Structure 1
Amino acid sequence: MAVTEKKRRMSYSKMRGLVSFFTAVIKSKKAGFSGFVHKLMSNHQLCQQVKPSDFDYLKVIGKGSFGKVLLARHRNSNEYYAVKVLQKQAILRKREQRHVMVERSVLLKGLQHPFLVGLHFSFQTSNTLYFVLDFVNGGELFYHLQREGAFTEARATFYSAEMASALGYLHSLNIVYRDLKPENILLDAAGHVVLTDFGLCKEGVVMGGTMQTFCGTPEYLAPEVLLGHAYSRAVDWWGLGCVLYEMLYGLPPFYSRSKAVMFRNILHAPLRLKSGVSQSSHSLLQGLLERDCTKRLGGSNDLEELQSQPFFKSINWNDLVARKIRPPFIPKVTGPCDVQYFDREFTVMPVPASLGLVDRCQKGITNEAFSGFSYTPPPEFKASDSLNVP
């Protein structure tokens, strides 16, 4: 009996000691433990929530350095989406994981604006990243410009106003877009502008803040970027000036087939404003394409400076954001899966057969580089609630 009681006392004492030990460990490693729990929950969500086989992949609608964009239908909801499928190894090889994570962050912040593409889900397998986005099937602005050569001034006014509104919204969130060009500007089925591709965005740029990274597309680079100077959010207004010029005249303002010549033009050539458009458009272009970024239109009071320009006198900005202004051109799409405005170079590509097959959640070294990538909206919120503005 005495031996039994002694054993019990020893067991109880040891148990208390173990409890005290683990309590101390948890207290001293609280932050690390929280991180572990967060990672555990993320992995659980990755395996249990959205996965590749939830979708039927119907058509390839785009292709980039790291993967493809596909038209897909969600099997349960029958909703159509554009699914951007990116290969992790290709991203890591070019050290572009930071840009991918920035794109995911900006997509989430842009849900409240009607002229920014919306993110519905993001998820990953051991080798692949998936962005599930709005399917916007009215075609790239680039496609329509190529087909028509140039737009009427009224049409260019409407598109540039919607672009300016989207850029102003991003700036209000301290985000600089940095890659405005016709290929990144889509039209939806109703004819409204939708900006996409946020990989070159820079977050955390307050009014008066600057950046240094050399990035963008050659035809639309601002002079201060080309010179390697620190630059501000005014680079986006230069980009808008370039796109507006192209809409009115058919080519970017300083275009040349030779990049060296084009860069010299951007830095030194006079801005050629041809006849056939209004004086107010000339005035706006001169303000946006001002080489001195401290004097550039939008450089001080951002969107407000543009809104007061005579070029935009026909625009009611509240009605614009509410999508109450009828677009000057409405794409003739026949339904939610119509891909007629996408380049046949992509739509004739075979859909990769393996896309919906690999669901298994595998622990891999590449997953650490994309920690926090996966996103599923809470049950009470759907991205479409914010995006489908009447």
Structure 2
Amino acid sequence: MSIEVRQMNFEVDRLTNIEVAVEHNRIDGKDSRREQRMNIEVEDDGPNEERERSRSSRALVQNRSNERMDEAFSQHASFYTVDRSALVGYSIYSISIEDGDEVQRRFNDFEKFYEKVRESGLLSSAIGTPPKKKFLQADTKLADKRKLWVEQFTHELILNHSDKEIVQKFFEMDTFREDEMVCLGSSERKNAKPSDFDFLKTIGKGSFGRVYLVRHRVNRKLYAMKVMGKEHIKKRNEVKHIMAERNVLISNVNHPFLVALHYSFQTKDKLYFVLDYLNGGELFFHLQKERHFSEARSRFYTAEIGSALGHLHDNNIIYRDLKPENLLLDRSGHVILTDFGLCKENMNPTDTTETFCGTPEYLAPEILLKKPYDRTVDWWCLGSVLYEMLVGLPPFYSKDRAEMYERILHQKLAVPPTLLDKVCDRRLGAVDDFNEIKSHSFFTPIDFEKLQRKELKPPFVPKIKDELDVSQIDREFTSQQPNPASLIPATFGTHRDTDFPGFSYVS
């Protein structure tokens, strides 16, 4: 069995001489307005004050709460106080076993593991204790000694005790599985991993993590990387929704108005989606600034959104969470549908489902009544978003949620007269889905064949200087710098997780 131990180079300037956050992700004590979704399988956190203020006033200035809670996506957040003279102890060693798969560990991890296996009696007397720093000893000399010790320690355990569970777990020997590999080439096995990317900016936040602007270190392309904490997902019983999101993202390939997935992979603690990078801003962001849109602009966006929903329906997927926060503009001004966490798969045209989920302002009456519902709930949401673009608020909006639900169920609304029909069987799109939508007289000015080919000029083009310009993205996000120590974990390797089987993907 071939075993290779390499000491990795680590950028010292990414560390401070005070504190290194190994696993540090803060989440707001209050849900962001972009996470206010309701689902019977998760806790309903109640109305969000900031979103309410934003809806009622379309204020240009964000009023963010300073209340924070220290909850890491992994339950075991840890901080290490370090001194630059001790950074040699922060060295990372890459262990390659047999076929080139590798796992990476810090020297401190080896020290702790040494104590465990020594107590279990696995080590021979030939393996000494981990080298300690001596007074006035040069860092380079200590580094050489530690690398030699790591090599001896690793060889002893893998060659003589690889059948022991404690050894398999430390070296991730039980996690190198083909079903979790991401194939980046036609013939060569490689792992996609967080360290393949440079984390440049924070550009979004969702229910289970954050979204970062990243650059691939090899192809130099920019992507949006969605990073989600597994523990948080499991605690809220959302595993099946994350896997559904991954499946829907794969089906989106080559549709002009749906965000595309390029890679998905996982580490021990986190899941990663690598998606199209769109820097034209959320539709919600632009509505805040402009209060409402013209009829022509609203019609253009609605046509593109409808095309995206129609594609999902053609693939037997109900979206269920349409709202301006989930609609992004690309740099040319086309609207792109994102965030597929509440999608329902395998829904034929006549199938129904009953899960109570969505965003309060846009819930269809049949969902509120807890009746079986079908894909027409998406057309209700489209009507609600169209109304909001024209008027500035969702059609039945109220700060009081109970009152808002009462309005959705009973209040009459003049426009649009068919998209928001409270009886789903009479709703526009109930008979022939998107074909019925695009045949409506409201869309007479739209050539849908040209729209699908992106040959129609968008009515609004975001002012973007270059691909790194994030001025159209809410400063609520971009003001927060990524923390590489929490995003690139201490241990790498292709991780098998029975809760997320088949998660990994490459386009």
TM-score by length of 2: 0.63
Tell me how far 1:112 sits from its aligned partner.
Answer: 2.3
Aligned-partner Cα distance in 2 for 1:305–1:99: 29
**What residue number does 1:286 align with?**
417
User: Could you tell me which of 351, 359, 368 is aligned with 2:498?
Assistant: 368
- Per-residue CA deviation, residues 127-164 of structure 1 (Å, 9 max, x unaligned), is 11000000011000001111001100000000000001
**What residue number does 2:455 align with?**
324
Contact 1:125 1:358 in 2 (8 A): no
For structure 1, the residue ranges without an aligned partner over 5 or more in a row are 1-37, 274-281, 378-390
Contact 2:266 2:494 in 1 (8 A): no
**What residue number does 2:230 align with?**
88
Aligned-partner Cα distance in 2 for 1:301–1:324: 25
State percent identity of aligned pairs.
53
Is residue 134 of structure 1 aligned with residue 134 of structure 2?
A: no
**What residue number does 1:338 align with?**
469
**What residue number does 2:385 align with?**
243
How many residues align structurally? 328
Tell me how far 1:240 sits from its aligned partner.
Answer: 0.3
Q: SS of the counterpart of 1:147?
A: helix
Aligned-partner Cα distance in 2 for 1:234–1:347: 36
Aligned-partner Cα distance in 1 for 2:340–2:207: 15
Report 1 or 2 for greater relative contact order, CA contacts < 8 Å, sequence distance ≥ 6. 1
Aligned-partner Cα distance in 2 for 1:363–1:306: 45
- Matched letter for residue 258 of structure 1: D
Aligned-partner Cα distance in 1 for 2:454–2:201: 29
- Per-residue CA deviation, residues 268-321 of structure 1 (Å, 9 max, x unaligned), is 0111x4xxxxxxxx4xx1111000001111011101111111110011110000
Contact 2:429 2:437 in 1 (8 A): yes
- Matched letter for residue 434 of structure 2: L
Is residue 356 of structure 1 aligned with residue 493 of structure 2?
A: no
Tell me how far 1:49 sits from its aligned partner.
Answer: 2.0
Q: SS of the counterpart of 1:59?
A: strand
Moved over 6 A (4+): none
Matches within 5 A, 1:218-297: 218-271=360-413, 273=414, 282=415, 285-297=416-428
- Per-residue CA deviation, residues 64-100 of structure 1 (Å, 9 max, x unaligned), is 2311100000111110000000000110011101000
**What residue number does 2:54 align with?**
none
**What residue number does 1:41 align with?**
178
**What residue number does 1:124 align with?**
266
Higher mean C-alpha displacement, 287-296 vs 43-52: 43-52
Tell me how far 1:350 sits from its aligned partner.
Answer: 2.3
Is residue 167 of structure 1 aligned with residue 299 of structure 2?
A: no
Contact 1:53 1:359 in 2 (8 A): no
User: Could you tell me which of 213, 219, 227 is aligned with 1:77?
Assistant: 219
Distance 1:76 1:307, change over 3 A: same
Distance 1:362 1:45, change over 3 A: closer
- Per-residue CA deviation, residues 234-273 of structure 1 (Å, 9 max, x unaligned), is 00000000000000000000000100100000000111x4
Distance 1:376 1:175, change over 3 A: same
Higher relative helix content? 1
Is residue 180 of structure 1 aligned with residue 356 of structure 2?
A: no
- Matched letter for residue 74 of structure 1: H
Aligned-partner Cα distance in 1 for 2:270–2:219: 23
- Matched letter for residue 262 of structure 1: M
Aligned-partner Cα distance in 2 for 1:322–1:82: 24
Contact 1:237 1:297 in 2 (8 A): yes
For structure 2, the residue ranges without an aligned partner over 5 or more in a row are 1-174, 184-188
Q: SS of the counterpart of 1:372?
A: coil
**What residue number does 1:114 align with?**
256
Tell me how far 1:353 sits from its aligned partner.
Answer: 2.2
Aligned-partner Cα distance in 2 for 1:171–1:63: 27
- Per-residue CA deviation, residues 363-389 of structure 1 (Å, 9 max, x unaligned), is 57xx11011000023xxxxxxxxxxxx
RMSD over aligned Cα, in angstroms?
1.7
- Per-residue CA deviation, residues 331-376 of structure 1 (Å, 9 max, x unaligned), is 1111111111111111111211222354512757xx1101100002
